Amino acid sequence: MVLTRKDALKQIAQASKGEERQELLKDDSFRSLVLSSGANVTLYCGAPHNAQTAKDSLSNVYIGLIQRKNKKGKLDGLGALGGLAERTSEDEFESLSSLEKSNLIEQKDDIILDGTYPILTKDINIIRKNNVLREMREELDDLGIKDITINPDKLELISMPNVKDDNYMVNIWDGQGECYAITPFCHIYEDTSGLIDEISRRALEKDGGEAVCYKKIPLFEALSAYGNKGHSSCSLEDGRDAEKDYRYPHEYLAAWGLAAKLFEYKSQRMIALAQEVQTSSPHPISFMRIARATGQNMSDIAEIMHLDDKTLQQMEQSMANIYAAKHLSHAFTHDDR
């Protein structure tokens, strides 16, 4: 019997949330039945300069992040501009008139013009760029901005070959309505014309909208913006701080990919950066945790940052040692009181 998407969704809905659903999605052929994509872009400005510390070297580098809220009006974490792809099935596309197809260009990420004729494309390199442009347009409109866009040809993909964003399907979905396993495509975009400042200045929260504001954040600060727990009054479902933490681990990982690019993928600079980020962070930073959250392994994370496995392991161990020493020191101080 050949499984359909409807069959696969039924199996997932009937499975218990967590490990049972995760086990189903480990089968790539099964996951492909419920698969879609998403795309995002992190705008950044500035460049590193020579300095004694990694933090000082990145002192002129900033990124833009959107602050979102959920349907209940509560903060829902930081993130890059982006979201899920809008796709069209072949049956749906064939049922449309030529005019209807044309009207869906820029609304559906997989409908494009071939000369003067609308066609349905499966080229992910086209879909991911259209996805970014449409989501950026929609989210900026949510903040009252209608006249800002970017050049899609200048989008730089942070390659994450094995990344997955299945958390909603695995841990949250109640079995009703549409749901997808997601392969996300993360991009960076160099802002050389003051876009981050302009969006931050002009952004206004709209009643009923998803976006709250757009923040200009030092890249160094963003590198510790995942794992900050213990803020029950303002927290994501896993207890992380919804005002300070990235909503999605792959978008957080893209910030580290940007840092690696700016530091020219040099091992010693990245080790020093990891140590300084952990020293400045009150909570533990762990690439192993990010790997688990995104369905990857440590070799995948190293590949994203163009580092060898040994360098990434050294970064991970250094951060663990620094956090443990800080925690131990805090415990001794507390006992002395």
Query: pLDDT of 89-128, one tens digit each?
Result: 999 999 999 999 999 999 999 999 999 999 999 999 999 9
Q: Are 187 and 41 in contact (CB under 8 A)?
A: yes
Structure-token match 């020093």, residue found: 272
Condensed to tens digits (0 to 9), the pLDDT of residues 286-329 reads 999 999 999 999 999 999 999 999 999 999 999 999 999 987 76
CA proximity to 3, closest of 42, 22, 23, 31: 31
Task: Look up residue 42 and give its two tokens.
Answer: 């992190």
| Gap between the Cα atoms of 69 and 78, Å rounded | 9
Question: What is the rounded CA–CA span in Å between residue 79 and residue 139?
Answer: 12
| Four-point Cα dihedral 73, 75, 81, 85, nearest 10 | -60
The single residue listed with the structure tokens 């879909």 is 127
> Tokens at residue 285, please?
């930073």
**Phi first, then psi: what are they for 20, rounded to 5°?**
-65, -45
pLDDT computed for residue 42 by the predictor: 98
Whole-number pLDDT of residue 336: 43
Measure the CA–CA gap between 167 and 125, rounded to whole angstroms: 24
Model confidence pLDDT, tens digit, residues 211-244: 999 999 999 999 999 999 866 667 888 889 999 9
Query: In angstroms, what CA-CA distances link 316 with 261, 272, 299, 301, 310?
Result: 19, 11, 12, 11, 10
Rg (CA), the chain: 21
For residue 327, the model assigns a pLDDT of: 78
Determine how many CB atoms are found less than 10 A away from the CB of residue 254: 28
Report pLDDT digits (tens) over 245-298: 999 999 999 999 999 999 999 999 999 999 999 999 999 999 999 999 999 999
What's the pLDDT band for 67 if we cut at 50, 70, 90? very high
Domains and CATH numbers, the chain: 5-332 (3.90.79.10)
Dig out the tokens for 212 from the structure. 């709250």
Q: Identify which has the larger pLDDT, 232 or 30.
A: 30
- Of 20, 165, 14, nearest to 82 by C-alpha is 165
pLDDT reported for residue 231: 62
